[in-house]
A = this chain, B = another copy of it.
């Protein structure tokens, strides 16, 4: 017995985070009843994004070009490099603060038990970049979790060994929280009061 297009749509919607059977049904009916054009637009945007968005070869953030617009911009201050765990964290900082330096996106955090070491986070390439001498301050904006702190510690050593000043966000970010969900004001304040890692 083949499943109907409606059932296929409901099933496919469950790929979205936080969307269970009931929500998926509600979404499918909503689109069919009131948003057919929006549904078609979403279909196109999904296909394009899944196919064409890769990673920037400089900062590892998502990018549809080899080098992302931020890394390619001459208006950014290349002396400041901010390291974040995820593209969502990068976006949160970019939206909340006036930061005009560059970013480095780990796409994860050190987690030896899960087999995620320095290599998986591209830290060999980051080290190489720090050796080039342009970066003067490495702003470590990993999450205030156990693994995030361990990653921050590793990054600070990596920077110091190459005469780059490591710094981290000021207290103000709630402990145990996820950077992505911190309100803009708090995040902006914490970013502005970052301190050198002693």
Chain A interface (Cβ < 8 Å from any Cβ of B): 4-6, 8-9, 11-13, 15-18, 23, 25-33, 35-36, 38-53, 62, 64, 69, 86-88, 91, 107, 180
Contact = CB atoms under 8 A, between A and B. Distances in A.
A8 B23 CA distance: 23
Contacts of A53: 5-6, 32
Counted per complex, copies of this chain come to: 2
Overall SS of chain A's interface = helix
B49 A39 contact: yes
Contacts of A8: 45, 48-49
A90 B36 CA distance: 21
6 contacts: A5-B52, A8-B49, A9-B49, A15-B41, A33-B86, A39-B46
- Please indicate which of the listed interface residues A11, A26, A49 has the most CB atoms of chain B within 10 Å of its own CB: A49
Contact of A47 (B13, B28, B40): B40
A43 B47 contact: yes
- Please indicate which of the listed interface residues A12, A47, A87, A107 has the most CB atoms of chain B within 10 Å of its own CB: A12
Given A26-B17, A41-B12, A45-B9, A32 B88 contact: no
Closest 3 CB pairs of A and B: A15-B38, A43-B46, A12-B45
A148 B99 CA distance: 55
A53 B23 CA distance: 19
A36 B180 CA distance: 21
A23 to B, nearest CB: 8
A32 B31 CA distance: 23
Given A49-B8, A53-B5, A87-B29, A35 B15 contact: yes
